[in-house]
């Protein structure tokens, strides 16, 4: 499979933890059943992309917010699988994002309680003439647990011929601020 490097402003993508998340320490009652909350599958989620309005935008950061599509919500824990996609059918291009260290926690997502996950894209200009650029339409995202995939529009130009994963991903619940503090 071809491997990819991205350039999106020099490059990093966020799917980071937004305020209002609820950490789960045991079974969480479902709003509909009174039993334990169900793990999220792709069809349970609504994903949207936004660009921060601070210096992080210039550094290539974006945020993919994760909301529940239904009132009962669901729980999510771990790392999503994220790849580039050339079309809206979500067919992945290149290797999945490389998992970065971070604590995984079970978190509840509802329509009014967003979560997010941090991704970092490598700058394709760092690869010089080794880069064979290709336009992609967005990202193919599978929630932790591997149940279904969603396409999220995010046009970019990426390299298609590299041996290094071009995306990094942190667990759901790790914010961009957490990552910046850890690297100081």
pLDDT digits (tens, 9 = 90+) for 111-128: 988 898 888 887 777 778
Note whether residue 121 is domain-resident. yes
Distance of CA 60 to the CA centre of its chain: 14
Give domain status of residue 183, yes or no. no
User: Is residue 60 assigned to a domain?
Assistant: yes
- CA 179/CA 1 separation, integer angstroms: 30
Query: Is 180 a member of any domain?
Result: no
Paired tokens of 165: 């994963």
Q: Which domain holds residue 81?
A: 5-170
Specify the pLDDT at position 58. Answer: 61
Q: Is residue 17 part of a domain?
A: yes
Structural element, H or E, at residue 182 = helix 176-182
DSSP state of 18: P
In the structure, what pLDDT confidence band is assigned to residue 27 with cuts at 50, 70 and 90? very low
* pTM reported for the whole predicted model: 0.78
What is the total residue count of the chain? 184
Residue 176 resides in a domain: no
Instruction: Tell how far CA 56 is from the center of its chain.
Output: 16
In sign, the C-alpha dihedral spanning 184, 109, 80, 38 is positive
CB of 174 within 8 A of CB of 17? yes
**Residue 76 belongs to some domain of the structure:** yes
Which candidate, 143, 132, 38, places its Cα nearest to that of 90?
143
Band of residue 19 on the pLDDT scale cut at 50, 70, 90: very low
Mean pLDDT of the chain: 76
User: 3-class DSSP state for residue 42?
Assistant: helix
Whether 59 is covered by a domain: the verdict is yes
Q: Which of the two residues, 146 and 150, has the higher pLDDT score?
A: 150
Structural domain count, the chain: 1
**CA triple 95-98-104, angle to 5 deg:** 135
Backbone angles phi, psi at 46, to 5 degrees: -120, 120
Whether residue 161 is predicted with pLDDT greater than 70 in this model: the reply is yes
């Amino acid at each position: 499979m071809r491997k990819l490097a991205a350039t999106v402003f020099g490059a990093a993508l966020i799917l980071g933890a937004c305020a209002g998340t609820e950490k789960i320490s045991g079974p969480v009652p479902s709003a509909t059943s009174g039993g334990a909350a169900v793990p999220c599958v792709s069809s349970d989620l609504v994903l949207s992309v936004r660009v921060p309005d601070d210096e992080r935008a210039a550094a290539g950061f974006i945020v993919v917010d994760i909301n529940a599509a239904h009132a009962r919500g669901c729980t999510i824990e771990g790392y999503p699988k994220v790849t580039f996609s050339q079309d809206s059918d979500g067919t992945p291009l290149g290797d999945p994002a490389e998992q970065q260290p971070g604590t995984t926690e079970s978190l509840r997502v509802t329509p009014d309680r967003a979560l997010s996950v941090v991704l970092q894209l490598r700058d394709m200009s760092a690869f010089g003439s080794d880069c064979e650029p290709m336009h992609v339409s967005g990202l193919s995202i599978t929630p932790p647990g591997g149940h279904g995939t969603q396409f999220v529009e995010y046009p970019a130009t990426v390299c298609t011929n590299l041996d290094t994963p071009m995306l990094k991903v942190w667990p759901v619940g790790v914010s961009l601020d957490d990552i910046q503090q850890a690297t100081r």
